Structure 1
Amino acid sequence: MHRRAHFDRLRAIVLVCFACAALPLAHSSAQSFDNLGHQEWSTENGLPQNSIHQIFQSRDGYIWTATEGGIARFNGSGFQAFSQEDNPAFTTNDTCCITQDAKGALWVGTADGLVQYANGAFRHFTLGDGQITIEALAADNANLYILTDSGILVENGDKFTPLPLPSNISPTAIAQASNGALWIATATQLFEYSDGSLKQISSGTEPFANPIQSIGSLHGNAPWIMTRSSVTLLRSGHPRTLQTSRDLPNTRLQSFLEDARGDLWIGTSSGLFVVSKNGGPAEIEPALGANSILSLFEDSEGDIWVGTETAGLHILRRQNFHTLPALSEHVITAVAQSTDGAMWAGTNGDGLDRWQSGKTQHYSASNGLLSDIILALAPGSNGSMWVGTPDGLNHIEGRKIDSYTAADGLPDDLIRSLLVDSDGSLWIGTRRGLAHWKNNAFTIYTEATGLKSNLIGSLVRNAQDPQALWIGTLDGISRLRDGRITTYTTNDGLSGNIITSLLEDSAGTLWIGTKGSGLSRSTPNGFISMQRADLPRSIDSILEDNAGNLWLSSTHGITRVPRDTLIACGTSTSCNPHPEPYGRADGMPTEEASSIGHPAAWKDTAGLLWFATRKGVAITDPNHLSEDRIPPPVVIESFIVDDATIASSSTEIDIPPGHTRFAFAYAGLSFAAPSKVRYRYILEGFDKQWTDAGSRRTAYYTNLPPRHYRFRVQAANNSGGWNEPGAEIGFYVRPAFYRRAWFILLCLALLAAIIVLLYRLRVRRLQRQFDAVLAERNRMAREIHDTLAQSFVGVSVQLELAAQLLAQSHVTAAHEQIDRTRAYVREGLAEARRSIWDLRAITAQDTLPTRLTRLADQTGTPQLQINLTIGGTYRPLAPGVETEVLRIAQEALANVTRHAQATRAAIDLRYHSKRLTLTITDNGRGFDTTNTTLPANGHFGLQGMRERAEQIGANLAVSSVPGQGSTVTLDAPIAAEKGIKTP
């Protein structure tokens, strides 16, 4: 017990020390310098070197740092360093300064000339003989000015010419004025250079004790002048000088900044100091300690950047929340303010603390509390406080602590919530029901009297209906009025039945927080769910500020949402009530708010909001919130195709075919809360709608079809302001050659050509088939004409002869003639069969001379004598050729028999070395060979002969003179392989 009391005394001393600083902070505006978040980076985080000589923000939003190890570009997440190790434009890593000209080019001053960064590429410029040392850079709307150890140079294209100045002026510092003029300082004087003229600006404090080492611009185009021991502000003709050992610590001054609020920041060799615009002494910024401060810069969001000599880069962000350091290691369960203005905080195992007016008082089990675990607080009268613990109820009034337990009539010792009523009575929520202590007696309400659950949570008195008490339970919300209990659940419109928090706002609306089911509210007709995806699902506490905003705490931070806008939007996904989330980036000690006790949040009499968390209290002033309403710049940092980075371009990028993986790295350049920057993107030509990427900074696509695309990305800062134009990059994925229009057209043309070719081949095949059928029909017609018809003619002639012999009573001769006729018939039948079945094979006994001899014998009659002559050496011909020659001879003799009325005919068959000639002559009446009407009159003999001659490649000549007979000559080639042409 003695050791615990000693610990409590030590703890009280610490709390007193912190309370003296914490109370003024808690009840002041958020402008306090103590309410600053701090973050630092060094070489371990990607900086090329820890000496930061200048910090600069380019117009695209990047933060640039000049170090002795090169320059670095920061996007809020990481650094990209540029130095001579990876870029030949840097001939040295020692850099001093950075600026940007009117065309957007970035200029870097180094120990060996200038480096220009434009269109993604670096370029080196040498000044003079290369021995010139650059000390500072400045740029206006037309020119770039370079301060060197030998004067000021002006950039003119690729040339650098001296700025014409009087010979008695030796510049020591330059800076750009807000009006576009150039300020030039010497060791003792300040000048303004504009349009070629130079005029002196009086500081009103000359002479300076030390030479001027740097100058800059204040708000309103007023200059400031700094020496190693003083800073002079030349504002409105009333100079103000801050002197070391008088207004500032006795240390060397190295950098200066007036921020957007008007506060003055002075970097020294022994730390960073700040002077409020409202006056007062300089205060040291404890986050920087005694580090030597080389450079200061304020970005577009109001963040203060600090460059040190050995400790790298730092940022000071104004935060909306602060905490009490004395409670930072405690799990806070409940907070409340007593009627005397004191703030009370209960913890989970570390007792109860009360502080007021710089004094603190600690309560624990050692000095009267029933338990060191505090579950509920409720302010009583006269500055007293009711305290609920797991072991009973305490009442603290001054130094007196009273205790109440189940032995005194409580339904249970575990007290979960407390509410002091307007009549001074006390409502006590336990795990076994609700107790009402009035006139030193307890009235108990449980499930037996109408509650649906005995586990009582938050309690609130209905201001619109003072007779009604709202009770949060694990099974809905109950209303106690006139001793009767009515319970409402999800069946009555609530979003959930596990009630965790209650608030009646200034308009009389009851807001109900649930566990896992979001928010609900009361209406004149009952309850309505307000569950939304952009609000917490589990709500541990609800507060309303003086502006009508609701503050919802959860295990994932605190969310502020305008009450009226939320009511108007309801649960509509198309309506945005613009909720604002807060977390560690906003100064909260942790994002996990406490859900152990009641009340877990409190609005004090000054309007400050206190939230219990698992690492102390989070305090905010809703009337002085730092809100960033400027949408963050968005940049596409890299476009990667199959692991190869594509150089950025203002025109459409052409991507060759065959690539499958595409990645876009982008960044929203907001430094107030980089972790809370949200992104959405769309790939026009592929995506149908925007993709909500959250805080992810890379988009991936695979297997994009060949076409034109445009990737667009937008970003929103921690205040929800979206940069609608965003950033974009266009590219064209070229198709493979087999997917190009010319190739497709060529393929279509080839396909059409193939179809036409196949069609023509089909037509040709059908034509050949038709020609073959027609040829076969013609052949059959010729065969029938030359075999059956001739045979019938011969039979007819023989029968006529037989008839004449019988008429003359030559019976014996008639019998012989009939026998000969019978032989003709048999031979005609054989010829018909050979023609029909195309029996073209012949034997050696059935050669062309033999067949011609038989033909001559069959055709000859007593009235027609036929003489056959065969000459030359016999040469066998193809069977088809011999058959065609025989048929031509047969047709010629048939014509002689039927039409010539000849008495003699001669057949001459002659074999030559390569040709065969057949000549048939007669002494008949002849005919006119020019007569073309013969086929029309049914005479097809000559036409058939010509067709047969053509089939075997022979020449057929027919000559005749009327009255002088006729001659048929056939000239055919002799070739064993030659046969009838077949289709």
Structure 2
Amino acid sequence: MNTKHPILLCLIAVLATLLPVGTSAAGPVSVTSEYARRHYTTQDGLPQMLTEYIWQDAKGYIWIGTLGGFVRYDGFEFTPYLKGKQENILSFCPGTDGSLWALGFRRRHVVDKEGTMRTLPLDGRGLLLNNLNAYSLPPGLVLLEDEQERGREICRLTAEGAETVLKSPALDSMDLRRRVYLDSVSQTFYIPTASHVYRIKADGTVLKPIRVTEPYSLLRNGERLYLFATDGIYEVEDNRAHLMASCHFLAPDYGVGACADPKGNIIIHDAHNLYRLSKDGSVRHIVDGINLIRQICIDREGNLWLATYQGVYNFFQLNFMNHRLNDHNDILRAIDEDSQGNLLAGTLNGSLLRGQNVAELRSISYPRKADNYFLPRTARIGGTTYLLGMGDVLACDSDKLHWLGLPQLNYQFLSSHGDSLLVATRQALYVTDARGHILQAHEGLRGVFCACHDGDGNLYAGTAYGVVRLRGRERRDIALPDSSVSCTAMTVNPYGEILFASGENLYTVRNDSAVPVQSYGSPIRSVRQTRDNFLIVAVTDGLYITDNRLLQTMFFNRYNGFTGIEPLAAHIAETGDGTVWIPCVDQAVSFHPKELAYQYTTPRLELLSAHASADNVNWHPASAGTDGLIRLEHGLHNLRFSYIAISHSATENVRYRYRLKGFQEQWSQPQTGREVQFNNLPPGRYRLEVSALLGNISSDTIGVDILLQPAFWQHGWFWLVVTLGLGSGIWTLAYTYYKRRDRRKMDELQREIKLNNLLVKSIRLKSIPHFNANVLAGIEYFIMNHSVEKANKYLFLYSRFTNSTLLDVDKPSRSLSDEIQYIRLYLSLEQLRYGESLSYHIHVAPDVDTGIQVPNMILHTYCENAVKHGLRNKPGNGHIDIEVTIRPGGINIAVTDDGVGREAAATFSTSSTKQGLSIMEQQIELYNQRNDEHIVQTVTDLKTPEGQACGTRFELFVPKHYKYF
């Protein structure tokens, strides 16, 4: 006995070394997986949860029969029929006139193309519809029976009733597990019973039966005719059947039904389960736990529908799988693949799972730290897979599991590039080797969310304040349209270009600037570029998948297969077989992008309704006539159209474009809205055209012609009659009237012009005699005092001044240079009178255009006022300062004197009327009425610091392009 113990211990030690890492702690399966599905109930619009039959018509509508009537589903809402009536609808089929027939036990409900319904007896003889065989025969054929479920016969429904096609005692031998079947190739009826399958030709010829134990039903798919029986699936050839796949159906209480999908697979159901017979002959149990499956239907897009006693299920195309932990207090967060092709998964509570596939994931032991948890981040280098845990990274090699031993920090991000790991906290980004040795540390970053290398050796870090490019010691911020939005996810495309997410937008980088790629309408959580060149963008409410080869983007959410709630800001993993894994808040979702971005079925577009309104409140149906033209009376100038292209695989991916020819010749931008409205259309003929787009395919264009009829007074003949009746008289009266009126106006205008010119001349000449008298008196003084030279000088100045006055007296304006020359003459003559007690200075800024037109005698008026009212009454010397400067849009003329001021001047000369200033103001007002930009005149009383009057300042702003005529 003693010699056996060491041998036994050695054997145990050797076996322990051969076991894979973690198998010693292997436990029960940890994950439950199921195909994504959508469950429709009475809360969605079903009349009852007990559903019997599902059928798709040629337009794509899904019709559902229940124990309380039936409904039509267009992908968005249910339209009920027989609402409130307890009528069991067992089947549907197309009517002979384009209508739909909904079949109950005793009645046929006919829904015409306009949506109205009428009810007829199913059969005039009182036979009932067999509910278990309502869907096994081709549309239009039914199995009828009497009240005792006997006297069965196969009948063809007609507009008048039902006509017998086949009547055989074998039909009465079927129990509730059997389904009669008509093979369209051989035109043979197959009638299964407990031990045989009877065969009867459509012409009544009885063929040799097929001996099979407990056959249930049959189905043809291509060249093969399948028979489903209690021990498996048979292939039928003539009167023989050989077993091709063994299968034990778990719940054949009401038999077994089947249908074929577009991929060549056979989907089989019993009362509670679904099975799939693949093209390679294997049978797989794919769904269980459904309460009483009555019928299954695969629509023309490949979506799998189930009519059950728990409502209706849509399993889409069995292309999304949802995975949940059996521990409902934990969730899957990190998923990836190890070097041996096994799945590795880390959970929120720190469990580590491993298995050859998701169905075999089991918890394994590892050197677990206290309170460890896994973040939704993984990476791979060579044969090692890395999972980000609390404060460290767990390395999973083929032979051991160990921590890298990084500094104990709050790490939030993990990725890999080549032989290096990228590990980040919120404040720093570290580059390490495969063993965790830090090679580079980029510190001082603000809120790191992600990082990625491009194809040129640059490292990009996404932070709470945008994107930073790192290369060696160089740091450069990437210019973003909105720097307040964080960069939360990154990937690199096959060309080495960085793609990063910020808010709802995806960008790339060009010359250190962000270039928008696409906007997704919802915050982006994570992005992934797959090996097969699919771009996956997970947003808060769904999933976008872009096939970069076809330039086709599809959106998936709960309406067409992606039922995960809010994808995490996580690493999107891709395993060796191309499966993509996305962790969500409630579960992990896996799928194959190739199976999703396929060539979709061309949607069939239908115009649902047309309405017209005069006030956009009360809408009236607008129906087309027999010629297809919608005719609308005058006043109904607002139109509204609704349309739909049904696609149950891409419910929210269908976009529509339209144009109203005659009003809008160009196509509109594609949009998801299924309604368009046009307001205030003028009378005329129009054609509405609508097209539906799905990915890179489009539907046939549909159209409808519309004629908006004009009012009687909008017809040409009406105006022709009015014109002929009143034209000649009106023309004669109008011509005479306008001729006389124009002549009178012209005469009055001529007189007004002459009077105004005379008035201007007379006004300007009124000021000359007084001034002339003063000047001549001064010259007389010089002559009397023997100052002949000065007398000659002033005679010369007076002659020039008088000549200039007379030449320009009838002009409303003259150039600034002429006005300055004229005021020099005037002030020089005034100095003859006042001598040294009057001085003046004229300054014109260099940038002033002296050719600009100013009001005639404006400076003379201001200077005369300054001399007469300001300086004449001032003791001592007086000074006048004239300054011309540039202002935006024109020039500024300022005349300033240092006289006694306007208040004091008024006390010295009570007889002054100031007619010169008043006349000038009236002239300027008249000129301003002809211009958009006005001349602005201001007068300022100058004061000393003690408040004493010290002069007056006149300012005038003249616009650059002022018009005086």
Asked if Structure 1 and Structure 2 have the same fold, meaning a TM-score greater than 0.5 normalized by the shorter chain, the answer is: yes
TM-score range, shorter chain: 0.5 to 0.7
The secondary structure found in structure 1 opposite 2:316 is strand
1:604 alignment partner in structure 2: 575
Residue in structure 1 matching 2:725, options 753, 774, 787: 753
Matched residues in 2 for 1:245 and 1:373: separation?
A: 41
Q: 1:174, 1:182 within 8 Å by CA — same for their partners in 2?
A: no
Distance in 2 (alpha carbons) for counterparts of 1:621 and 1:305: 21
- Please list every run of 5 or more consecutive structure 2 residues that lacks an aligned counterpart in the other structure: 1-22, 146-150, 613-617, 738-965
Q: Within the alignment, does 1:368 sit opposite 2:352 as a pair?
A: no
1:665 partner amino acid = S
- Which amino acid is 1:636 matched to? L
Aligned counterparts of 2:531 and 2:27: Cα–Cα separation in 1 = 31
Letter in structure 2 aligned against 1:622: P
**Partner Cα distance (1:180, 1:698) in 2:** 48
| 1:935-959 superposed Cα distances (whole Å, 9 cap, x missing partner) | xxxxxxxxxxxxxxxxxxxxxxxxx
| Alpha-carbon distance in structure 2 between the residues aligned to 1:15 and 1:710 | 70
Contact between 1:49 and 1:67, CA under 8 Å: does it hold in 2?
Answer: yes
TM-score in terms of structure 2 length? 0.60
Alpha carbons of 1:386 and 1:633: their partners in 2 closer, same or farther (altered >3 Å)? closer
Q: What is residue 317 of structure 2 aligned with on the other side?
A: 318
Q: Is the 8 A contact 1:100 1:107 kept in 2?
A: yes
Residues 110-135 of structure 1: per-residue CA shift (max 9 Å, x gap): 44454444443545555664523344
User: In the TM superposition, what is the alpha-carbon distance from 1:302 to its structure 2 partner?
Assistant: 1.1
Residues 83-482 of structure 1 correspond to what in structure 2 (within 5 A)?
83=82, 93-100=87-94, 104-120=98-114, 122=117, 125-126=120-121, 129-135=124-130, 145=141, 147-149=143-145, 151-154=153-156, 158=160, 161-163=163-165, 177-179=183-185, 181=187, 183=189, 185=191, 190-191=198-199, 193=201, 197-200=203-206, 202=208, 204-205=210-211, 217-220=219-222, 234=236, 239=241, 246-249=248-251, 251-253=253-255, 255-270=257-272, 272-276=274-278, 278-279=280-281, 283=285, 285-286=287-288, 289-308=289-308, 310-326=309-325, 335-339=335-339, 341=341, 343-345=343-345, 350-351=349-350, 353-357=352-356, 358-361=360-363, 367-368=368-369, 372=373, 374=375, 377-379=378-380, 383=384, 385=386, 387=388, 389=390, 398=400, 400-401=402-403, 403-405=405-407, 413-418=409-414, 427-436=422-431, 445-446=441-442, 453=445, 456-460=448-452, 471-472=461-462, 474=465, 476-481=467-472
Asked if the contact 1:35/1:319 (under 8 Å) is kept, the reply is yes
| Equivalent AA in structure 2 for residue 37 of structure 1 | R
> CA separation of 1:546/1:192 partners in 2, compared to 1, >3 Å: closer, same or farther?
farther
CA contact (8 A) 1:98 1:106 kept: yes
Deviation at 1:757, TM superposition (A): 4.9
Give yes or no for the alignment of 1:551 onto 2:525: no
Aligned equivalents of 2:559, 2:242: Cα separation in 1: 36
Q: Is the 8 A contact 1:320 1:626 kept in 2?
A: no
**Aligned-partner Cα distance in 1 for 2:25–2:113:** 57
Q: What secondary structure sits across from 1:755 in the alignment? A: helix
1:443-498 superposed Cα distances (whole Å, 9 cap, x missing partner) = 66457xxx8x4655544456776xx65555555443435xx43636339x999996
Structure 1 residues 656, 266: CA separation in 2 closer, same or farther (over 3 Å shift)? same
Aligned to 1:633: 604
Question: Mean Cα displacement is larger for which, 299-308 or 437-446?
Answer: 437-446
Q: Is residue 30–residue 363 contact of structure 2 (8 Å, CA) maintained in 1?
A: no
Q: Indicate whether 1:62 and 2:51 are aligned.
A: no
8 A Cα contact 1:670 1:677, kept in partner: yes
Query: Aligned with 1:665: secondary structure?
Result: strand
Write the letter of the residue equivalent to 2:717.
Answer: L
Structure number with larger C-alpha Rg:
1
AA at the equivalent of 1:387:
L
The aligned residue for residue 725 of structure 1 is 700
3-state secondary structure, aligned to 1:638? strand
Q: Give the deviation of 1:218 after TM superposition.
A: 1.6
Q: What residue is the counterpart of 1:955 in the other structure?
A: none
Q: 1:76 is paired with a residue of what secondary structure?
A: coil
- The correspondence for 1:667, drawn from 641, 644, 663, is 644
For the pair 1:515 / 2:502, whether they are aligned, the reply is: yes
Q: CA deviation digits over 1:489-543, x for unaligned, max 9?
A: 339x999996544444555x132314248445578xx668552345579655443
Which of 678, 681, 702 is the equivalent residue of 2:655?
Answer: 678
1:581 aligns with 2:555: yes
Instruction: Give 1:76 deviation, angstroms.
Output: 1.7
**Are the counterparts in 1 of residues 271 and 291 from structure 2 also a CA contact under 8 Å?**
yes
Between the aligned partners of 1:69 and 1:730, the Cα distance in structure 2 is: 40
Evaluate the alpha carbon distance shift between residue 191 and residue 730 of structure 1 in structure 2; reply closer, same or farther with a 3 A threshold: farther
Residue 546 of structure 2 corresponds to residue 561 of structure 1: yes
CA distance in 2, matches of 1:159, 1:617: 53
- Unaligned runs of 5+ residues in structure 1 are 1-11, 23-33, 87-91, 407-412, 566-576, 766-983
Matched, 1:75 2:67: no
1:715 to 686, 692, 703: 692
State the TM-score, normalizing by the size of structure 1: 0.59
1:295–1:727 CA distance, 2 compared to 1 (3 A): farther
Aligned to 2:921: none
Q: Within 5 A, what are the aligned runs for 1:832-843?
A: none
After superposition, the CA RMSD in angstroms is: 5.0
Q: Secondary structure at the match of 1:323?
A: strand
Once the 2 structures are TM-superposed, how far is the Cα of residue 753 of structure 1 from its aligned partner?
A: 0.8
Q: Report the secondary structure of 2:211's partner residue.
A: coil
Q: Deviations over 1:282-308 (max 9, x none)?
A: 63623xx35222222211011122222
Question: Which residue identity lines up with residue 497 of structure 2 in the other structure?
Answer: L
Between 1:744-753 and 1:532-541, the stretch displaced more is: 532-541
- Cα deviation for residue 374 of structure 1 reads 3.3
CA spacing shift, 1:124–1:130, aligned 2, 3 Å: farther
The aligned counterpart of 2:676 is 699
1:485 is matched with which residue? Answer: 474
* Letter in structure 1 aligned against 2:211: T
Following superposition, the deviation at residue 630 of structure 1 comes to 0.4
Q: 1:320 to 1:224 in 2, by over 3 A?
A: closer
Residue of structure 1 in register with 2:757 after alignment: none
> 2:100 corresponds to which letter in structure 1?
L
CA deviation after TM superposition for structure 1 residue 727, in Å:
4.0
Secondary structure (helix, strand or coil) at the match of 2:552 reads: coil
Residue 45 of structure 1: how far off its partner (Å) = 3.2
The equivalent of 1:592 in structure 2 is 566
| Contact 1:639/1:648 (8 A) holds in 2 | no
AA partner of residue 285 (structure 1):
V
CA distance in 1 between counterparts of 2:681 and 2:278 reads: 57
Taking structure 1 as reference, are residues 727 and 199 closer, same or farther at Cα in structure 2, changes over 3 Å only? farther
CA–CA separation in structure 2 for the residues paired with 1:171 and 1:154: 21
How far apart are residue 314 of structure 1 and its match?
2.5
Q: Does structure 2 conserve the Cα–Cα contact (< 8 Å) formed by 1:374 and 1:387?
A: yes
Label 1:175 to 1:701 Cα distance change in 2 as closer, same or farther (>3 A).
Answer: farther
Are residues 279 and 499 of structure 1, via their aligned partners in 2, closer, same or farther at CA, if it must alter by over 3 Å?
same
* One-letter identity of the residue aligned with 2:564: T
Alpha-carbon contact 1:418-1:427 (below 8 Å) kept = yes
> 1:594 Cα shift?
2.6
Could you tell me how far apart the structure 2 residues matched to 1:248 and 1:534 are?
Answer: 49
Name the CA distance, whole Å, in 2 between partners of 1:203 and 1:395.
65
Q: Which residue of 2 aligns with 1:613?
A: 584
Does the 8 A contact of 1:665 with 1:697 survive in 2? yes
How far residue 205 of structure 1 moved from its aligned partner, in angstroms, is 1.9
Q: Tell me if the contact between 1:633 and 1:668 (Cα under 8 Å) persists in the aligned partners.
A: yes
State the number of aligned residues.
686
Residues 460 and 100 from structure 1, CA distance in 2 versus in 1: closer, same or farther, beyond 3 angstroms? same
**1:384-408 Cα deviation digits (max 9, x unpaired):** 746364x5667678465464436xx
Task: Indicate conservation of the 8 Å contact 1:36/1:318, yes or no.
Answer: no
Contact 2:564–2:588 at 8 Å: present in 1 too? no
Contact 2:602 2:698 in 1 (8 A): yes
